[in-house]
A and B are shown apart, each in its own frame.
Chain A
Amino acid sequence: MTAPRDLAAEFRAGNVRGLARAITLVEQRDPSVRHLLESLGDLVRPPRVLGLTGAPGTGKSTLVDNMVELLRSRDQAVGVIAVDPNSPYTGGAILGDRIRMQRHALDSRVYIRSMGARGHLGGLSVATREAIRLMGAFGFEWVLLETVGVGQSELEVAAIADTTLVVLNPGLGDGVQMIKAGIMEIADVFVVNKADLPGAQKTVQEVRSMLSMGPRLAWRPPIVSAVAVKGEGTEEVIEAVERHRQFQASSGEAIQRAEARLKDEAADLVGEWARAEARRLLDTEPGLAARLIRDRIPYSAAEEILTRQGRRLVPEAARTDP
């Protein structure tokens, strides 16, 4: 594994492999990534993060492909993170989202990274946030985060993205999709893709009526129609995203969200580090383990670890003391 210092050098040189390797470090939850990010401090400029979620087969990848095309035509550098689940049994995964973005394959200002949602503690979010930070540091102005809407992933996307887009299709068991826990709350923009299919108008209306039944919010999520395979609707989607950005900036929500996210991230990191180190301590300190086993319930052990072990809960590779 390349030392963080050398990695930083590759990174600063604009070598895409440096970025790729740094993201791997982050995926592997290597605590030394802290040093890399701190050494890149001056470069870190948060990109605008758009999260796209929705049921499989709704055309997210094609939409992302079109959005990349449009952003590129405006001379923006774009990163894409495409998340697919890993098998819970074997840990393996087939990551096939790049296929939909062939036309950007050799554009150096487009970076596409497939990530298996490996079920790390903290889920998708911790690794992805750091990956996004790295992409921003590398010079990407936008990051499109695409995940399949299974399990908790919509919530995880919404926790990371500046604007969350929920992609729907007409006639897909209509009402049912909306009801799925959390979708209505997290969407900043609704995209009805494959809008050339029958039932599209009905779907738009259903979303509208569900929104009106919900709490009155300052931001009313627009509902945009698109036919991604024909390249239609992309401008309207980006326009809706842009309006959201303006809303967030003028309402102060941008700052609020950013602060809340940073706090979440810090808390997640505490959880992640503490958990890993707690486990290590329990495995290596016979006294601690013995007391836990004698107690038969975990509370004293947990309290002991947190109060007495304190600093030791920061992984060695992440520490800054000499």
Chain B
Amino acid sequence: MTASSAPPPPTARGKAHPLRIVMAKVGLDGHDRGVKVVARALRDAGYEVVYTGLRQTPEMVVEAALQEDAQVIGLSLHSGAHMTLFPAVVEELRKRDATDIVVFGGGIIPDEDIAELKKLGVAELFTPGTPLKDIVEWLRGRFPETAAAPAP
């Protein structure tokens, strides 16, 4: 039995394929409003978002990223534990020989910590009030060769 479907719309054609992003809430906190809003915006921008949910450990996030062949990991945290948990994800990527995976984060993160986290290997941090289009623009800039629909 053969199955066929209509040709895909123009945005999905050709060499460019959607960027794959694993989004996760690391640590114990359950405030998922932000991560969900960002996930939707990234989907609307044409990316494939694998949402791994709440209470992820660094090991779980990295394992998911490896299995899903994701290029990016997006972390969300609102409990103040970012200085422990974000670097732990970067460290786990190093252990698994996957430092090519780009990590970005969002949540309640004071400015001083942003500089420190970037030094430790987190590529970018988005604090409360960041417009969604800024996040999409940053990803487009970082991964120009992947397809993404124009911003809404």
Is A in direct contact with B (CB under 8 Å) within the complex? Answer: yes
Chain A interface residues (CB < 8 Å from chain B): 16-17, 20-21, 23-24, 27-28, 86-96, 98-99, 102, 105-106, 111-114, 116, 118-125, 151-152, 155-156, 158-159, 260, 264, 267-268, 271
Shortest 4 CB-CB contacts between residues of A and residues of B: A92-B43, A20-B69, A99-B53, A90-B149
CB atoms of B149 and A92 under 8 A apart: yes
CB atoms of A105 and B1 under 8 A apart: no
Chain B interface residues (CB < 8 Å from chain A): 1-9, 11-12, 17-18, 20, 39-40, 42-53, 59-60, 63-64, 66-69, 96-98, 147-149
- Which residues of the partner chain A approach B40 to less than 8 Å between Cβ atoms? 94
Q: A91-B8, A114-B48 are in contact. List 20 more A-B contacts (CB 8 A).
A: A16-B67, A20-B66, A20-B67, A24-B20, A86-B18, A89-B11, A90-B149, A91-B11, A92-B49, A94-B43, A94-B49, A95-B48, A96-B51, A98-B52, A98-B64, A112-B64, A114-B50, A119-B8, A121-B7, A158-B1
Can you give 10 A-B contacts (C-beta < 8 A)? A89-B149, A90-B46, A90-B149, A91-B11, A92-B18, A93-B49, A98-B53, A123-B3, A125-B3, A152-B5
CB atoms of A105 and B69 under 8 A apart: no
- A155 CB → nearest B CB, Å: 6
- Which residues of the partner chain A approach B8 to less than 8 Å between Cβ atoms? 88, 91, 118-120
Which of B4, B60, B98: most chain A CB closer than 10 A? B4
CB atoms of B3 and A152 under 8 A apart: yes
CB atoms of A113 and B44 under 8 A apart: no
Query: Chain B: which residue is nearest A28 at the CB level?
Result: B17
Roughly how many angstroms separate A106 CA and B97 CA in the complex, as a whole number? 17
Roughly how many angstroms separate A114 CA and B7 CA in the complex, as a whole number? 21
Which of B4, B18, B39, B48: most chain A CB closer than 10 A? B48
A21-B69, A86-B12, A106-B60 known; A122-B53 Cβ under 8 A: no
Query: Chain B: which residue is nearest A264 at the CB level?
Result: B2
- A270 CB → nearest B CB, Å: 11
CB atoms of A23 and B69 under 8 A apart: yes
- Which residues of the partner chain B approach A21 to less than 8 Å between Cβ atoms? 69
Roughly how many angstroms separate A88 CA and B18 CA in the complex, as a whole number? 13
Roughly how many angstroms separate A75 CA and B135 CA in the complex, as a whole number? 43
CB atoms of A92 and B48 under 8 A apart: yes
CB atoms of A99 and B39 under 8 A apart: no
A90-B149, A92-B47, A94-B39 known; A119-B5 Cβ under 8 A: yes
- Which residues of the partner chain B approach A27 to less than 8 Å between Cβ atoms? 17
Roughly how many angstroms separate A28 CA and B16 CA in the complex, as a whole number? 9
- Which residues of the partner chain B approach A119 to less than 8 Å between Cβ atoms? 5-9, 12
CB atoms of B2 and A91 under 8 A apart: no
CB atoms of A106 and B63 under 8 A apart: yes
Query: Chain A: which residue is nearest B65 at the CB level?
Result: A20
Roughly how many angstroms separate A180 CA and B141 CA in the complex, as a whole number? 45
- B76 CB → nearest A CB, Å: 15
